[in-house]
């Protein structure tokens, strides 16, 4: 599947809001914003990766401890500390190599090193994309997202050292399944973990925009990891509290839609934004009848307590989603593009829930729902063609019910109007309540046994020591960068 990269959301010279009628959208100045977002990222490649030194989810991992030991001994981590084993894949921004630390005590610790040529990217005006990807990777600390162990420069190359996933990607894994499609239970497992990864990204103010099986890798333990963030959009995100008046825990599969009475009502954004996060959620869950606190003018203050203390609202839900983000960039993969991206009307985090629907459809049926004879026909189908499902044979009534619930979820995720799309307003909280995920313990997904656990990779013994690092010649560096992948070429990390 070809990836579209027509417009950039970032510009190194300025930060401003989207200009009316413009094809290009810009990131707002995060440094001056009061929103809960990660620090601004226009700092260049020479900034030390201080944020890469604290990863609670990897505290006891051998690969993480090995990197920390090298950094403590040498004061830094550089290319000279690694031995490149083989190339894993190539992509639009560079190459990925399987590598090991040269220290003998680090045997068994494998890494994936992404190497990009900054001069070539600058010539193609894509250096900003690579910088944004690195800054996003620095902030991530989640079980289903990449861990950036180190990033450094070597001559005109920029290197990102990340996790190695021996299981390949889900596109290759699907080809090995009977009928080249996953069972309902396997699809539920992978989709649930993807939902949690998207939820975390949205909370960090990142719209992923490039979800597809090729970008979902399988770790050594069988759990998933999203990859490739060079098309992601970084934006502000404001926490909100949602009332749960008459809100069912799950959406009925037989209803085929969501009743207006079942929709949560949105409480105005918390001011100040982080007060509820750092002062305790219990302050936003006061019981009805609590004495009101006077404001500065002597009147009763309109606090978060007052706005959420309603009958049947003892557990208001905190939602942190960049639902108001807007970009007019035409980026993504043809078969996965959301209608609002194709029309150019501006898109936000709702595009990730559309791509989740296409992703789930391909996992279960072996193809995408709107694929046409060519890319142009595919885009027309996405805009105009109604969603349809192929006929399936169910072995039992229970299996048929599972298919109905799965189809209902995909129908709601693939609503062409982003305002009516499941997750379009309240994000992951709305998606996780669907009946398809009934019985899923979201807090313990990491403890569930995966459908498949890949075999440990076989790494050849190191060749005689050769400390010389091969670099491109000056003539090769000055030549234009041409990337023409074959139609049958598979990439594991891009």
Can 9 be counted among the known catalytic residues?
no
- What crossing angle do the helices spanning 397-413 and 350-365 adopt, rounded to 10°? 150
Three-state SS for the chain is CCEEECCCCCCCCCCCCCCCCCCCCCCCCHHHCCCCCCCCCCCCCCCCCHHHHCCHHHCCCHHHHHHHHHHHHHCCCCHHHEEEEEEEEECCCCEEEEEEECCHHHCCCEEEEEEEEHHHHHHCCCHHHHHHHHHHHHHCCCCCCCCCCEEEEECCEEEEEEECCCCCEHHHHHHCCHHHCCCHHHHHHHHHHHHHHHHHHHHCCEECCCCCHHHEEECCCCCEEECCCCCCEECCCCCEEEECCCCCCCCCCCCCCCCHHHCCEECCCCCCCCHHHHCCHHHHCCCCCCCCCECCCCCECCCHHHHHCCCCCCCCEEECCCCCCCECCCEEEHHHCCHHHHHCCCECCHHHHHHHHHHHHHHHHCCCCCCCCCHHHHHHHHHHCCCCCCCCCCCCHHHHHHHHHHHHHHHHHCCCCCCCCCCCCCCHHHHHCCHHHCCCCHHHHHHCCCCCCCCCCCCCCCCCCCCCCCCCCHHHHHCCCCCCCCCCCCCCCC
Catalytic residue among 92, 117, 151, 210: 210
Cα 267-443-287 angle, rounded to 5 deg = 35
Residue 266 in contact with residue 430, Cβ under 8 Å?
A: no
CA distance 258 to 430: 11
Tokens matching residue 337:
């593009």
Any idea which residues carry the catalytic annotation? 210
């Amino acid at each position: 599947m070809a990836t579209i990269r027509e417009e950039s959301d970032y510009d190194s010279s300025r930060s401003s809001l989207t200009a009316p009628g413009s094809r290009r959208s810009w990131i707002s100045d995060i440094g001056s914003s009061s929103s809960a977002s990660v620090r601004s990222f226009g700092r260049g490649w020479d900034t030390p990766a201080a944020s890469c030194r604290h990863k609670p989810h990897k505290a006891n991992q051998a690969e993480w401890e090995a990197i920390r030991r090298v950094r403590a001994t040498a004061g830094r981590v550089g290319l000279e500390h690694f031995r490149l084993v083989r190339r894993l894949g190539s992509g639009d921004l560079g190459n990925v190599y399987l590598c090991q630390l040269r220290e003998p005590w680090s045997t068994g610790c494998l890494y994936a090193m992404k190497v990009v040529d900054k001069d070539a990217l600058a010539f193609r005006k894509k250096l900003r994309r690579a910088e944004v990807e690195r800054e996003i990777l620095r902030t991530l600390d989640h079980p289903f997202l990449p861990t950036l162990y180190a990033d450094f420069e070597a001559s005109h190359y920029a290197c990102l050292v990340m996790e190695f996933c021996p299981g390949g990607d889900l596109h290759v894994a699907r080809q090995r399944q009977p009928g080249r499609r996953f069972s309902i239970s396997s699809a539920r497992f992978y989709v649930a973990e993807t939902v949690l990864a998207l939820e975390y990204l949205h909370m960090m103010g990142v719209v992923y925009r490039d979800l597809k099986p090729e970008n979902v890798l399988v770790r050594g333990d069988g759990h998933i990891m999203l990859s490739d963030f060079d098309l992601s959009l970084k934006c502000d995100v404001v926490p909100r509290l949602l009332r749960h008046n008459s809100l069912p825990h799950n959406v009925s599969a037989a209803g085929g839609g969501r009743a207006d009475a079942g929709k949560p009502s949105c409480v105005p954004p918390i001011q100040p934004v982080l007060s509820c996060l750092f002062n305790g959620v219990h302050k936003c869950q006061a019981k009805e009848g609590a004495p009101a606190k006077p404001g500065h003018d002597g009147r009763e203050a309109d606090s978060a307590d007052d706005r959420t203390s309603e009958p049947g609202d003892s557990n208001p839900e905190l939602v942190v989603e960049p639902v108001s983000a807007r970009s007019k960039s035409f980026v993504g993969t043809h078969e996965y593009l959301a209608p609002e991206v194709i029309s150019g009307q501006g898109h936000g985090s709702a595009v990730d829930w559309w791509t989740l629907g296409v992703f789930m459809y391909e996992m279960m049926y072996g193809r995408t729902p709107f694929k046409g004879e060519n890319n142009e026909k595919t885009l027309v189908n996405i805009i105009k063609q109604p969603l349809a499902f192929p006929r399936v044979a169910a072995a039992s009534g229970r299996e048929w019910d599972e298919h109905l619930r799965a189809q209902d979820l995909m129908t709601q995720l693939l609503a062409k109007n982003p305002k009516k799309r499941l997750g379009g307003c309240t994000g992951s909280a709305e998606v996780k309540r669907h009946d398809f995920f009934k019985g899923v313990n979201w807090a313990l997904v990491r403890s569930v046994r995966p459908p498949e656990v890949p075999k440990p990779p076989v790494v050849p013994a190191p060749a005689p020591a050769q400390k010389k690092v091969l670099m491109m010649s000056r003539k090769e560096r000055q030549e234009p960068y041409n990337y023409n992948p074959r139609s049958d070429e598979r990439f594991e990390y891009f």
